[in-house]
């Protein structure tokens, strides 16, 4: 079972679901099927949600506890569990409880990471035997950001987000701010003012410091004053940027002043000190044999 923590109280196991930042996000074109072609760097973080799982001997999948605004059947963790059931024909089920720290609609990948952790953990707990690549392929059916969390490596991503090249990024401390409002991703992709023809960036170009921004930042700034306020406030302390399509923003800071910045966070916003990691904490819980770790 790897190194999953068995909790007191009846066979529950706990699994990390880390957040991510998009260090840049370009839209380089659009496919004939309407999907946008993207380039981004996913920076995994040492902070996120925790997924608690308990195996059932029937095939029932149950979420324990409510998630505001998300019906059980629509929850990505429930959908992930059922997808793995169908793919492997297991007769087992699970109870799922989420310790939610990552804000929803925050551009930090919470739903995708929760789904990825559910796939990876239940693959082990149910003894399904799927490899990481197979799990990532299943995850892509749930969302474009799920595969990077399944692979568990910070990465340069292209295509619709499925072409991943692992990166070893420098050790950085960030202050992340959630402005208190979510941003609907699908709506932003339809905005006429979104730049959809950014020149493609190479990995070497990114590493050497070529100019790279978030194409959604001016669109979100103009439409969501709370996000604009967060960008402006955090911008006092460095080069503040939008993560994903928002709403969260972040800045690189020295660790010794990070907490002081968080302590000044304006009312209505939430802030955290986080560190970037190149390997997901989820990987530390997996066996290194049997093809489970890339």
How many angstroms separate the CA atoms of 272 and 254, rounded?
14
Residue 1, pLDDT score: 41
Q: Which of 20, 49, 75, 114 is catalytic?
A: 20
Q: Which of 49, 75, 114, 145 is catalytic?
A: 145
Tokens of 231: 């960008």
Q: How many CA atoms lie within 13 A of 199 on its CB side?
A: 6
Top-confidence residue, 184 or 108: 108
Tokens of 276: 């970037």
**For range 225-238, the mean pLDDT:** 98
* CA angle, 135 then 204 then 202, to 5°: 65
pTM assigned to the model = 0.94
**pLDDT score of 130 more than 80:** yes
How many angstroms separate the CA atoms of 37 and 30, rounded?
5
pLDDT in tens, 148-176: 999 999 999 999 888 999 999 999 999 99
**pLDDT score of 292 more than 70:** no
**pLDDT score of 131 more than 80:** yes
**pLDDT score of 105 more than 60:** yes
**For range 38-62, the mean pLDDT:** 97
- Residue 35's pLDDT band (cuts 50, 70, 90): confident
Residue 176, pLDDT score: 98
Percent of the chain with pLDDT over 90: 80
**For range 129-149, the mean pLDDT:** 96
Average pLDDT, the chain: 92
20 belongs to the catalytic site = yes
- Residue 210's pLDDT band (cuts 50, 70, 90): confident
How many angstroms separate the CA atoms of 169 and 107, rounded?
20
Q: Cβ atoms within 10 A of the Cβ of 11, count? A: 10
Which parts of 138-282 are beta strand (E)?
A: 155-158, 163-166, 173-178, 241-242, 249-253, 270-277
Q: Are 55 and 4 in contact (CB under 8 A)?
A: no
**pLDDT score of 276 more than 90:** yes
């Amino acid at each position: 079972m790897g190194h999953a923590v068995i909790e007191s109280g009846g066979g529950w196991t706990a699994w990390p679901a880390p957040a991510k930042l998009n260090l840049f996000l370009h839209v380089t074109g659009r496919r004939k099927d309407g999907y946008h072609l993207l380039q981004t760097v996913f920076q995994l973080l040492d902070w996120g949600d925790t997924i608690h799982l308990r195996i059932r001997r029937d095939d029932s999948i149950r979420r324990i506890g409510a998630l505001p605004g998300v019906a059980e059947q629509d929850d990505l963790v429930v959908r992930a569990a059922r997808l793995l059931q169908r793919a492997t024909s297991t007769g087992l089920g699970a109870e799922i409880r989420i310790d939610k720290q990552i804000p929803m609609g925050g551009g930090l990948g919470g739903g995708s990471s929760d789904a990825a952790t559910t796939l990876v953990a239940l693959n082990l707990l149910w003894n399904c035997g799927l490899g990481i690549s197979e799990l990532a392929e299943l995850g892509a059916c749930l969302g474009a950001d799920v595969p990077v969390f399944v692979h568990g490596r910070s990465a340069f991503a292209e295509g619709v987000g499925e072409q991943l090249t692992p990166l070893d990024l420098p050790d950085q401390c960030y202050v992340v701010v959630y402005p208190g409002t979510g941003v609907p991703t699908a709506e932003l992709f339809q905005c006429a003012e979104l730049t959809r023809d950014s020149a493609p960036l190479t990995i070497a170009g990114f590493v050497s410091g070529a100019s790279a921004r978030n194409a959604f930042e001016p669109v979100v700034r103009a439409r969501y004053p709370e996000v604009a306020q967060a960008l402006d406030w955090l911008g006092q302390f460095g080069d503040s940027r939008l993560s994903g399509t928002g709403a969260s923003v972040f800045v690189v800071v020295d660790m010794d002043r990070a907490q002081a910045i968080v302590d000044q966070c304006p009312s209505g916003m939430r802030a955290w000190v986080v560190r970037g990691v190149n390997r997901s904490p989820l990987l530390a819980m997996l066996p290194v044999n049997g093809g489970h770790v890339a």
